[in-house]
Amino acid sequence: MSPRPTPLQQTPDAPAASAAEPLDWGREPRMNPLETLMWRLEADPHLREPVCTLEILDRVPDWDRFLAAADWSTRMVPRCRQKVAEPALGFGNPVWVNDPEFDLDYHVNRVGLPEVGGWTAVLKAAAKAAMTPFDRARSPWESILFTGLPGGKAAHLLKLHHSVSDGLGGVQLLGLLHSRSRQTNPSKPQPALLPPEQSSSVNLLMQQLRRDALAVPATLRQAAEATKELVHPLKTARRALAFGRSLRRMAVKPLADGSPLLASRSLSLRFHILDINLVDLKVAAKSAGASLNDAFVAGLLGAYRLYHEAKGVSVGAIPVAIPISVRRRNDAKGGNRFVGARFSAVVSERDPRARMHAIHGIVDQLRNEPAIDAMSMLAPVLTHLPGALLAPAVGHLMKQNDLQASCVPGLRDEVYLAGAKIERAYGFGPRPGCAAMISLVSHGPICCVAANVDPAAITDPELFESCLKAGFEEVLSLNPQARAPVTYS
């Protein structure tokens, strides 16, 4: 039995009108088509989808307080006490059900690291935890408190399956659960546990079939509405032609072949982290008329160029994938609201300003493609296929990518976990078959860059880390007042 939570942390964003109600986050009972795909693609273990946040704490929190805070969080966010239930035959969308066998002690752990190991030890331990597959019979998350960091610090690793939430939804979650004070808050809400639910795969299949049948009238109405468009044949033809051209552009193989230096793939992960001053990077981007995201990707491409040059391998361009958020202001909190876009990125360009201009143009074009969300049309059909059929087709495209990059705005306020201040927050995104997934999450005044690297593709970690720093130094050179990036090893 897990201990009942004690009044520990503030939740300033919790609804005041109903103090005993859970947070409005992750309330959808059924996975959407994109989440279903991410859940089932793990039929190929190379396509596993863990999302990890590594928070650096200024002190080691009291363990009982930390454990009680975790228990309280699962009451505030019922999704964390739910597991995934699949329909029979894997037909249709999985659903979330309250786990009758939920055990907090299974999900929350602490690991003491030898202080002589330094930052390398915690990054190695975090990567090892990320490589461990979820028990799909339990709620797909894990929380680990690492102690023994330099300077008496600690680290908290929160590992979620990507089907639970995308990066922006994860930031929403942490913003709702983390405190704005070291002190406890006796008046915070204490929602009761939701009753456990039993699920039958056959019943879920029958529910899916009923939903599909009920959807027929709506489909016919949509077809009728589309038919009305035929009274404007020229307008309809132009729209269809534009969509078709866009779909062809989005679906074609990237112009660039993958780098031969990065061709190998494995199940292993290696983590690297880098700190950049947020204002410094923004000023460098602004000097080139670019965005923070443009500067971020330009720094990564510079790092890839430097790494290839040091290895004596010539490469002009590489295939890159980025997520593009389609989350709207009124969308439900949590879950996944993004589309994936792939493009060919020039690596050989030495001028960081030119790199940013090129990236800006590519991303702007992708955002305005009529078929950018075409996967949402295909995904409902794909959810009726078993993972064993999905993984080879979709995974083939993912494994072609040499780089996957994501830039997410993080928390601006000072935040605390069980009385310990969170100094940094690194987001290690999933690396589904690509050579490296590198993310930028802003935390207060710092850009926290986290690289999730396949050691079979990037075989010289020390060299890659130095190239990563040098790549961002090229971008920051556009801001004469910029401070140097900081690495930890």
Both tokens of 329, joined, read: 């202001």
Both tokens of 28, joined, read: 């959808």
- CA–centroid distance for 69 within its chain: 23
Whole-angstrom CA distances from 187 to 14, 20, 61, 183, 339 are: 12, 11, 21, 12, 40
Both tokens of 5, joined, read: 């939570």
| Candidates 162, 272, 308, 443; catalytic one | 162
DSSP assignment of 3-55, as one string? PPPPS----TTS-SS-TTSPPSSS--SB--HHHHHHHHGGGSGGG--EEEEEE
C-alpha angle 257/406/159, rounded to 5°?
A: 115
Q: Using DSSP, how many helices (H) and how many strands (E) does the chain show?
A: 13, 15
Query: Is 162 a known active-site residue?
Result: yes
Instruction: For residue 486, give the amino acid letter.
Output: V
Tell me the torsion sign for CA atoms 36, 427, 410, 476: negative
Helix axes 278-287, 461-476, angle to 10 degrees: 60
How far, in Å, CA of 90 to CA of 384, rounded?
A: 7
Residue carrying the six token digits 């950018």: 372
**If you compute the radius of gyration of the chain from its CA atoms, what whole number of angstroms results?**
23
Count of other CB atoms within 10 angstroms of residue 209: 13
Residue carrying the six token digits 């056959």: 202
**Are 269 and 130 contacting, i.e. CB atoms less than 8 angstroms apart?**
yes
**Are 121 and 128 contacting, i.e. CB atoms less than 8 angstroms apart?**
no
DSSP assignment of 403-471, as one string? EEEEEE----S--EETTEEEEEEEEE---SSSSEEEEEEEETTEEEEEEEE-TTTS--HHHHHHHHHHH
How far, in Å, CA of 276 to CA of 278, rounded?
A: 6
How far, in Å, CA of 23 to CA of 11, rounded?
A: 10
Both tokens of 94, joined, read: 């999985």
Both tokens of 102, joined, read: 């939920």
Instruction: Please choose, from the candidates 484, 437, 463, 478, the residue with its C-alpha nearest in 3D space to the C-alpha of residue 309.
Output: 463
Which of the residues are catalytic?
162
